[in-house]
Every structure is written in structure tokens, then in C-alpha cells.
Amino acid sequence: MTHPFSPATRQMIAARGAAFVHAGIAPPAGLKRAAVAIVLVAAADGADTAMLLTLRASGLRAQSNQWALPGGRCDPGETAMQAALRELHEELGLLLSPADVIGTLDDYPTRSGYLITPVLMWAQGSREIVPNPDEVASVHRIALSEIARTDAFDFVAIPESDRRVIRYRHFGQFIHAPTAALIYQFSELLAGRDTRVSELEQPVFAWK
């Protein structure tokens, strides 16, 4: 199923975001706040709405060469929305405003010590994307029909944890949590379901 990049699609997603019931689980103590942007743009073919996914630059000290949503650590005094908007501008040159924010999803606690808030945004002027080469190797538009595929996600067991590891299949590659978990929750929101993801596990290589 395609979702045309239109006011009707924005209204539908914003309505589901407004109706989303956030989990009331207390996060582990000591986590640093962070935020990511789930940015909705026109797909490359113009026939669908897409979300932006980045491949992080190879020169970064942390999570280099990994798939990620635009985002990062909250500065002192920043809200999750402010941090996500700032990081989006710093990474992709895309300047959005609070009026472009259409919802938030559940916080996700990572093994590396962060509590990530996903912020949903609608970017009408996505042609303005200019990636910062110091942070971003490439930017990809993932059509919402792709994340809605029945085989888009799978769940595997690992001996190091009793929690399931989630994986998102992206053109022959696996993307893991936290990114995969956040995309999965968003795909469930699109399907009209409030699905929790905080207990979905990350692979061992992401535990630091």
C-alpha cells in the first residue's frame, strides 16, 4: 500500500500520532537524553511518502558506518523536539520548525547509555537536503510501503540476552536496534497499532 505525499497522508499520520498512547515505563537511571527525527518526505519516484535514513560517516568516533535516523544527544536545557530539529539541520541542512512536528513515539533505552525519543516530522521542502559530510556518508529515502512489507522485520534470539533482537531488512542488509526498533514502532503506528519496542534487543556489538 502506498501513502501519497499529500496533506491527507500528513493528516492521517498526525492523527495516529496524536492518538498514540505512550508507554509509562520508567527508564533505567543514568541514561543520557537523545532524540532522533523520523522525517517524512516525498519518495524518489514521487508516488509515495518516504522516511529519511542516513549512513553515518566513516570518520565519526561512535557508530561510524552505521545506518541511523538523523539525531543525537540533547544539549542541556533542550527538549527532545528541539534536539531533533537541531540535529536534523546540522546533519542534513534541513531547517524545519515545531509546526512541522506531527508526533512522538515511545522513548527507547539503549545499551550504550541513551534514552532516545523519536520525533515525527513532515518535511514539505525536502529538496533542501544538503548532508554534512563530516557526519553523513549518504541519505536514503525509504518508502513507507517498504517498511510495511510483511518480511521487512524479523526477530532472532542471542545467547547473551533473553530479549529478542529485532532486525530490519534494507536492500540486502540488516539494520538493528535502536534504529530498527524505532522504524518498527512507526510501521506499527501506520498500521493503526500501538506496539511497544523498549524490550526489543540490540545486537551485542551495539552494547557499548
Q: How many residues does the chain have?
A: 208
Domains, the chain, with CATH or none:
7-147 (3.90.79.10)
Split at pLDDT 50, 70, 90, the class of 60 is low
pLDDT-derived band of residue 46, with 50, 70 and 90 as boundaries?
confident
Give residue 178's pLDDT band: very low, low, confident or very high (50, 70, 90). Answer: very high
Radius of gyration of the chain (CA): 16
Looking at residue 62, what is its pLDDT?
A: 62
Average pLDDT over residues 202-207: 89
- pLDDT, residue 28, reads 80
Nearest CA-CA partner of 120 in 193, 186, 54: 186
61, pLDDT greater than 70: no
User: What is each CA distance from 143 to 2, 5, 30, 58, 138, in whole angstroms?
Assistant: 8, 10, 36, 25, 16
Please state the rounded mean pLDDT for residues 11-22.
95
Question: Would you state the cell numbers that stand for residue 112, as one nine-digit string?
Answer: 550504550
171: left (phi over 0), alpha (psi -120 to 50) or beta: left
**Across 154-167, average pLDDT:** 96
pLDDT attached to residue 182: 98
The pLDDT of residue 45 is above 60? yes
Average pLDDT, integer, range 150-176: 94
